[in-house]
Amino acid sequence: MAHAPFRKDDILIFTSKNGIDHIECGRQRAICVGDATAEHARKVGFTNVVSVDGTSGDITKWVRANLPKSQAVTHVSGWHVRGSIIEELRIDGFVASRRKVYRSIPMPVWPEQAASHVALYSPLAARVFADLADGGALSRLSAICISQATADELAGLKLKSVHIAARPREDELIIAAKSD
């Protein structure tokens, strides 16, 4: 998606690598939700990068604790946003905005072969899965979810089990899968 350039003094907030992939790095500072996102930001040219290694709530806490309210921050996001980083920061008096730069488009595809596990990386993916699975025989299928918000989208499905990553990181998702 085309968008206006960011101001050099804005600090950009990334809750996904996708946001990084859809903008041009202008050497702004970056606050990232996790280590993988921070590493991706560094790889494309951001030099002053912070990882909160947590959730969108942890980003909000970090900004409150480390930045003056006059510092402009922009959440670079997709159209489907979980959490309320910008809204909470604005309530606290911060100069905060959101720039939507990409759109996730669900692909309603069901595997042709039987599977024992499904890995779900977002609430949107879990919602699409739940819609596709509605009424299906899932008693032998375990879901591995990146977060509680993702698992919440599976409410009502009769799955073998639902595991939630201890932290919203891919390595924790893999560890959760091993607990089955």
What CATH number has the domain bearing residue 36? 3.40.50.10090
Q: CA 179, CA 79: separation in Å to the nearest integer? A: 33
Kindly state the helix (H) or strand (E) to which residue 118 belongs, with its residue range: strand 117-120
How many domains does the chain divide into?
A: 2
Confirm whether 108 is domain-assigned. Answer: no
Last residue of a domain, one of 57, 78, 102: 102
Q: Which one, of 62, 68, 69, 80, lies nearest residue 13 by Cα?
A: 62
Last residue of a domain, one of 102, 132, 147: 102
pLDDT tens across 80-133, in order?
776 689 999 999 999 999 998 888 777 777 777 888 889 998 888 898 889 888
Residues in CB range of 50: below 8 A, 6 or more apart: 29, 30, 31, 32, 38, 62
- Going by their DSSP bridges, the two strands 96-102 and 73-78 should be labelled as parallel
* Residue 3: pLDDT band with limits 50, 70, 90: low
Q: How many CA atoms lie within 13 A of 24 on its CB side?
A: 9
- Using alpha carbons only, give the angle 75, 77, 78 rounded to the nearest 5 degrees: 160
Domain assignment of residue 121, given as a range: 117-178
* Residue 66: pLDDT band with limits 50, 70, 90: very high
Confirm whether 140 is domain-assigned. Answer: yes
Q: CA 109, CA 122: separation in Å to the nearest integer? A: 16
